[in-house]
Structure formats: C-alpha cells, structure tokens
Structure 1
Amino acid sequence: MEPLPFFKTPLTLTVEEITRYIRQMMESDEVLRDVRVLGEVSNLSMPKSGHIYFTLKDHAAQLRCVIWRSQAVRIRFALQDGMAVEAHGAISVYERDGQYQLYVFTLQPVGEGLLYQEFLRLKAMLEAEGLFDEARKRPLPAFPQKIGIISSPTGAALQDMLNTLRTRYPIAEVILAPSAVQGAEAPAELVRALRCLNGLPDLDVILLARGGGSLEDLWAFNDELVVRAVASSRVPVISGVGHETDFTLVDFAADFRAPTPTGAAVAATPDRKDLLLNLLDARMDLLGAYTTRVSTARERLSNLQQRLLRASPVRRIQDSHQALDQLSARALRAAGQRIKWEHSRLTATSERLSALNPANVLQRGYAILNLPDGSLLKSVAQAPAGQDFQVQLSDGRFSARAVESPLSTPQKD
C-alpha cells in the first residue's frame, strides 16, 4: 500500500489499511530500520519451529521480539528469562494482532557490544602493522614428527584433537603445553605456552585450540600479546578456536585457521588411510616401472648381444668357416665338372686317335712300307726296280724288293 496522501479532512480507513499504513511508516523510518535495544528477557518461548519469541523489558516499558529460525541458529549462548541482552534488529508491525515488535537480527549478552568494538579496533591496528598479511604465512609440514598442542588439559577439545591425531597419524609425537583458555589468567598462560613450545628445537607445528563459546569466553584469543606471540612464532601455528562461525584475532595471525579443534588436528596431519592408498598406488607404479625397465633392459641387452655376436672374431671365424665350406663345396663341384669334361674330351680324343691309329688301319688289310733308312715309302717313284723296303702288316713285318720299275698311276682330273 502506498503512503496515504495528506488530507485536511479525516479519512475513513479499515483496520487493515491503517495497520498497514503504520507498518509502512515504521519500515521507512531510518532509526527503526536499524536499531539496537537493551533490555531484560522475559516471556521466552522456543517452539519446535525453531523461531524464538520473547519480550524485552526495563523498569518502564516492554517490547515484543521475534527471532526467525535462520537467525536463531547463530546464537552461541543459552538464552533464558532474566538475562540482560542487546538486540539488534528492525521495528515493524505484526498486522494480524496490530502489535509492533522488534524483528531481531543478532542478539548478544550485555557487554559484548563493547568487546566487539574493541575487537574491531585491535584488528584494524594489528592489520595495519602487517601481522595478518598472507605473505608471512608459512606452509604447514606435510609429515610432522612432533606436534605441539596448546589447550586446556581438561577440555573436550583436547580429547577430540588427540583422538583425531591417533586415528589419522599415530606415528606423530604429541607434546601438550597446558594453558587456561578462558579468564583473566588465560592470555599470559597462552603466551607462556607458545614460548615454551617454540623453545623445542625439532617441533614441526603448533595447534592452538579450544571449544566454542561467547565472545567474552573467547576473548583471551583476541588479546594483543597473544596475537603478537602467534605472529612471531618460529613454528607454524594452526588456530582451531571455537566453532566454524567464531572468529578471533588469533585466526588472522595464525599460519592456518581451522574451523574447529578437530579441524586443526585434521589440517596438521595426513590421513594414514590416504597414505596407505598412496603407498599402494606408488607400489603399483613402481612395479610397473620396474617391469617396463627390466623388459627394456633385457631387449637392449639382447640387441647388444646380437651386435656383439655379429662383430666378434668368433662370429667372423664361424662365418669364414661357413664361407670356406661353401667355397670347398663349390670347388669340389667345379673339379668334378672339370674332371667329367676332361674325361669326355679325352674319350673323344682317344676315339679320334684310335680311328687314326695305323695299327688299326693295318688290321683292315693295309700295309706300311718303309725304306731301309726307316722313312715311309709314300710314292712309287721311291721304289725303282731292285729297291729294298720293309712291309709291315698288322701281325708283323717282312722284307721285300721291287722287281720292276713301278708304273705311275694316272691322276684323275
């Protein structure tokens, strides 16, 4: 509904219209849209819906209040009747009952408002000095051998951290520097514990932790001396103060901020289950690499052996022996072929000589005539009458003489 225009004469409105108009007027007021109210809690009601209803009152007046469930889960203290609180919220009207009330955004016990202002002042001062710079934060050790813990020796936070460390990384040695974590004596004890652990030469990491609480309960971890001691620590510091939504100045100065004490123990150590899985993976990778390396080496060795065998004198001698055997076989085959060829040629020559042998001719009825000087009688002119000569037949020889002058045989044309 739009704001009603100003009229000189009264308007007649329904209850709904006037109530809505009043609500719009309240919600448009800058003061009522963002107001902090001090008072004492009464008529507290916490139904199963998760919303919180109560009344704030003082000696002269009272104000109905409501906290919706989404804001109620952020309250870190036990709200009860009679408690003095500071409520931050906005004033509006619940139209059904025509009741104006405070819709609360945040709620804290009286006194925490001043503490929060001091928190902001210290944070701005230390941040300006560079104590919270990311560049000065150190990496956490991957496999710490000695872990220091600063916490209350009787608190549940310590037991949670010890149980977590035993489960995740039981080989680490844990050194406890007990300290108060709440109250006036806590800051000095926290500083003393930090100095004590920093005096150990082989400490790897420090866990500074406690359980949750109100801003006042956690105030020791906002103390300036404690924050400076954390920032100047030689050993990396993990803060695990309160719950995930709780922030202290120590969280900004520490090398790592964990949401809870258990989270701090988790951040400080590897999980042995993961380490075993990584070890198994590494073993399989190593086995695979070893198998591949051996296979490659064997193949290379085999190649080298083959090359060495081909280049060695033994192989050359063996090759020479083989070549000699081949040459010998070839020579024997060639000699055999030559012998066969020569035998064939000799046979042919022998046959030709046999055909030309005079003795063979004599066996066919021919004779050989020789003069007394042994020369052949080749012509009748060499045998005049009275000429002696020898006649050789196939089975012997005898002497003969020409008795008359030979007659020459006429030559054929």
Structure 2
Amino acid sequence: MSGPGKSTPEDPWPVRTLNTKIADWIHRLGQVWVEGQITQISRRGSKTAFLQLRDPSADISISVTCSPAVLDRCEVPLTEGIRVVMAGRPSFYTGRATLSLRVTEIRPMGIGELLARIERLRRLLAAEGLFEPALKRPLPFLPHGVGLITGRSSAAERDVLSVAQGRWPSVRIEVRNTPVQGPTAVPAILRALAELEADPGVSVIIIARGGGSVEDLLPFSDETLLRAVSQARTPVVSAIGHEPDHPLLDLVADLRAATPTDAAKRVVPDVAAELALIDELRARTAGALRNWVSREHRGLLGLRARPVLADPLRMIDERTESLDRTLREVRREVARFVGHEEHRVESLAARLSTLGPAQTLARGYAVVQRIHGDDPPEVVASVGDMPIGSQLRVRVADGAMRAAVMGTDKKRDA
C-alpha cells in the first residue's frame, strides 16, 4: 500500500503506511556484507536458524535468520563469540516493525580462517585413516628412556622432569629443546623427532608445550609434523596442555595427555606405588598359597577319616569273613549232597543186589548157556534152543559146570 508523498497533521500516515515505506526503503538496499560477532545461535526446527550478530566496537546488534544448511556449510563449527562476515538482505517485518538480516553465506574471520584451515586438514587426515585407533601404539610399561621435545627452560620441561624424576629417580630423559611456536618450530621439532627416533634407548617420546592461543599452537597442526608422527616407530605422546582447542597432533599421537604433568604420569611409572603393589601382590599370593595348602590339608584329613583309608584292610577282612562263611556253607551243602547221594547209591545197590542174578542163583536157580565152538556162550531160554548133543555151560551160585543134552522134556500144560 502506498500513501501520499508527505504527511501533515491534517493528513497523517497510518502505521501501516509508515511501516510499508520503511520496508520498501530497506529492501532497496539489496544484498550487503556485514561483519560482526555471533553472540547467540538457536536452531528452531529444520527450517530456520536464529542468530544474534553484535558489533564488536559498539553495543549494537541485529537479528539474523538463515537456513540451517547455511550453518552446516560453514568451514568451521560456528560458536558464540566467533567473528564472521555474512552476506544477506535486510528484511523489515511490517507486522511488528522489526528489522532482521536474512543471510545466505557465512564466512569466519581472522581466527575463524585458521580454524577453517585446520578443519580442512583434519578431514583430509581422517579420510586417510591417520586417526584410527588401530594405528595407536601401546606405551611401554617400563621405558628404557624417555624423549622430551619442548621449549627451552619452559614450564612444560620443568613439569615433566620434576614429575618423572619424582616417580622414578633413575629414569633417563633425553631432552631436545626446540621452538614451540613460529615459523621455525616445525623444522626444529622434526629434527628432534628424527634424533630421538634414531636413539635405541628411547622407548617413548613426549612433545610438550604449556598451552597457548590458536595461533601459537599452529605448529602442532602442521601437516608435515603430523605425518612424521604417524610414521614414527616410537610411541609419541602429545602433551600440549590446551583443553579448549585441541591441535591435530592430539589426534595423530599414540596418546593425548591433558598437560605435560599428566604426560609424565602416563609415561613414567611410580616406583613407590609399583613396589607397594608388588608387596601387596606378594602378600596376596602368600595368603592365597596358605589358604590353598590349608584347604588341601583339610581335604586330606577328610580323606584319611574315611573308613576305606582309615582301615584299608577292613573291607578285605569283611570280605574274608563272608568268603569263609560262604565256603563253610558250600562245604556243608556239598557234604550233605554227597551223603544223600551215597545213601541213595547204597539203596540202589541193595535193590540191585536183591534183584540181580547172583541172588537168584543163590536161591537155587541156574543160568544155562549153549556153547558153539569158540563163540561166546549164549543164554538159552527154550528147550528148542538145546537140541540133543548140545554142549551146555550151567552156572550156579558157587560156580559153573559143563554138560551135554541127553534128552529133553517139554513143559506140560496144566
């Protein structure tokens, strides 16, 4: 809606006209680039993100809206406090007379650019697998020697040496002092790393610095240094001591320590604690051995108390008695059986003798046998078997006689 060119007390503009004219004028600005500091970020749903952009030099701010995809496309994660430049169009909402900036691109400034470069390198090395846990080498329990790369007369050096020697007084530490910031830091650290790698007495290497700004820590995110550390045969500990922003060395190293002091504790064992642990383990071992001996002794006593071991011959004696008893029973049964059979045999013999031919002969009977030359005699039972002249053998109770048939008398019927 468009109103008259000028407003007067007699012909004032409605609020809607004023707001519309302001909106038309603002919209004619087109796209602008704005620099500021993000003080608030809010994602509402999946369609719109709300930010607050503040002027670092004045107490002035403006509301910013954008698609969440704009935030996701940014080279570094956007956080409150980061300085950026934004490209967008000013927008005036006539309903509530509010001004906002609808942006389509956000770029980090200053430190943000450094973080963006580090982020790109991080993604590259991650894609190559340099951060994989499988590549991490374990630290030795008792290192032959410890290599330390740090700044000369720095707090990090003092912390590592004091803590390490306090935990293990005889530990050997090979110190290589190098710059830890600036353009000469990386070449110097690489030379020190190569020297310690070549030393067969060095079992682990600590790269230490006592923290600092993002710019100060740039050498520890240098690609050449990171690749050298990943290819080192000796385990490397990163002890930069800077919690908010981790340099990429923390991801490539075999172990990240929170501080140089923490690195010394992780690398060098506490001799006093280890000796105390050995004493404790020895005491526990001795106690376990005594308990085992006591348990086995009780077991042996229990075994000896069992009847079979307390009196080993008892079972044999019991079986011997049982065997003797059984043998007596068997002998008694055999004797009884034999006596019964003897009695039976005697009875049968008596019956046999009563019914036998000898008894018959004793009662006056005789057995007549016919003799045929050399053939065995044949018992005759009929007169017809003894023709006249036949040679006979007549057996009686007390002997036998020979006779010849002179005649025969046949049995007469009654």
**Normalization by structure 2: what TM-score?**
0.49
**Normalization by structure 1: what TM-score?**
0.49
